[in-house]
Amino acid sequence: MKAPLYVISDLHMGAAERASKKRHKGDQAMSRDNFEVWSHGRHMLEFIDYLEKQPSASLLILGDLFEFWQTPIAEVLEVRKPLLDRLAKFGNDNPDRLKFVVGNHDADFRAFVNHTQWLNHSFFKHLSPPFMDTIGGKPYYFLHGHEGDPFNSGTFPVSGRALAILAAMVEDWAGSPYLDPPKCKYGVQVCLTEIGEALLELWNWMTKELVLRHSGGVEGGLEGSGASTVSGRSPEEFWGSPDMISLERQLLQRSWQANQVAVPNDRALPDGACRPGDDLAIRYLTAALNEFARRKGCADQESGERGNGGSPETCDENDQADGFKPNKLLKDHLAQISKIREEQGGKCNIVAGHTHIACRYQDWYFNSGAWTEREFGQIVVIAESGAPALFEWKNKGLSPVAWPVVNEK
């Protein structure tokens, strides 16, 4: 692609019909659209205006342009058609000027990457798989980044999509993609993803215990197991047995005690938000997530960790020099991306999104951050020399930002 190359990712455009910070209770399109919380539809049009004034500029949308996990595809495309029209006009059928690499939240387009004839809008002519390119003599590999995420790496990312659907129910209840208090920087999906990571570990433990008890095993230091376990019982016979009841007690000891969290005041759920009877469950979940976000904020502040998936503050000069401590999700992401880099020969620079954390790792990894869940959209610009720089879109223009650097120590 031509330089300067502008790279953006993780817009997660939903179906909110107008740019407004006002939250409308019961309006699912608004409560689920993180992109419009900050009026980014208008900001994107301003950004395209900026690009059109630069004949040599090219634009790479590095995945998760759309939010299809929480909103019907047809509604998103209908509402966002004016923006797609502008993008198509900018690309002008030139693959060197515009590319759209599919992410996990718009993975529904993955099958069309090599079959764009099924998609009538000219924007989709610019669909692209992850690719290698050379800019200023430097090799770059561009991908969304979910390929290294166990929640989302499959062709059909079931675990991640399931969490997003659950997040939508909480967002409908809360009337916003953000958790209380209103100034909380953590989105619902952010917290659910981190909790989901812990739940996977809990699930692995639980299923192992179930198998051991069902087969008569005694591994893992189970109390009361072995002697009372009868091998060969059917799952129906095992369910409700003393062993199962003992397992439930251990599971409760290892999980979050929901009754320790205050339940929010009664509020009516919008139609279609969840099944009748789930009101109390969603209230408990919302309250638990709010408490998780509160504790997480305190822990991040004390430990200096970033990598929350939300909107970390930009680094100051000291942060630039010393770096920041990544959390487990970011560490795992970087480890998997390192393997992908080795598969590409081990010498290329990597530009990815997915984590919503604009940062630099060593001298080869550059993350494009996000436009969702933050007031100012983030942009990576790769100059003709091949040097990458980080910017934010502020006041109808680019504002330079120091790279937040991942500290491995």
Tell me: pLDDT of 247 over 70. Answer: no
Question: Quick one: pLDDT band at residue 381, thresholds 50, 70, 90?
Answer: very high
Which of helix, strand or coil describes residue 128?
Answer: strand
Question: Quick one: pLDDT band at residue 33, thresholds 50, 70, 90?
Answer: confident
**What is the structure's pLDDT at 98?**
97
> How many CB atoms lie under 10 A from the CB of residue 58?
23
Rounded distance between C-alpha atoms, residue 353 and residue 217, angstroms: 44
**What is the structure's pLDDT at 260?**
40
Task: Choose the weakest-confidence range: 63-72, 227-236, 316-325.
Answer: 227-236
Rounded distance between C-alpha atoms, residue 342 and residue 363, angstroms: 15
Total length of the chain: 409
Cα 151 from chain centre: 10
**What is the structure's pLDDT at 369?**
96
Which of helix, strand or coil describes residue 400?
Answer: strand
What is the per-residue pLDDT across 207-224, written as a single tens digit (0 to 9) for each?
Answer: 666 556 555 544 443 344
What is the per-residue pLDDT across 74-83, written as a single tens digit (0 to 9) for each?
Answer: 889 999 999 9
Rounded distance between C-alpha atoms, residue 96 and residue 148, angstroms: 27
**What is the structure's pLDDT at 301?**
57
Question: Quick one: pLDDT band at residue 392, thresholds 50, 70, 90?
Answer: very high
Q: For residues 323-327, give the mean pLDDT.
A: 85
What tokens does 12 get? 């997660």
Q: For residues 5-34, give the mean pLDDT.
A: 68
Give the residue, 11 or 262, on which the prediction is more confident.
11
Cα 39 from chain centre: 19
Give the residue, 185 or 168, on which the prediction is more confident.
168
Is the CA virtual torsion 152, 127, 51, 15 positive or negative?
negative
**What is the structure's pLDDT at 50?**
96
Is the CA virtual torsion 144, 308, 198, 293 positive or negative?
negative
Residues 359, 306 contacting (CB under 8 angstroms): yes
Which residues are registered as beta bridge partners of 390?
380, 401
With 0-12 / 13-18 / 19 or more C-beta atoms within 10 angstroms meaning exposed / middle / buried, residue 363 is exposed
**What is the structure's pLDDT at 224?**
40
Residues 370, 10 contacting (CB under 8 angstroms): yes
What is the per-residue pLDDT across 281-306, written as a single tens digit (0 to 9) for each?
Answer: 666 667 767 777 776 666 555 555 44
Element (H, E) at 177: none
Tell me: pLDDT of 229 over 50. Answer: no
Rounded distance between C-alpha atoms, residue 234 and residue 242, angstroms: 14
Task: Choose the weakest-confidence range: 34-43, 182-191, 337-346.
Answer: 182-191
When the pLDDT of each residue in the chain is averaged and rounded to a whole number, the result is: 76
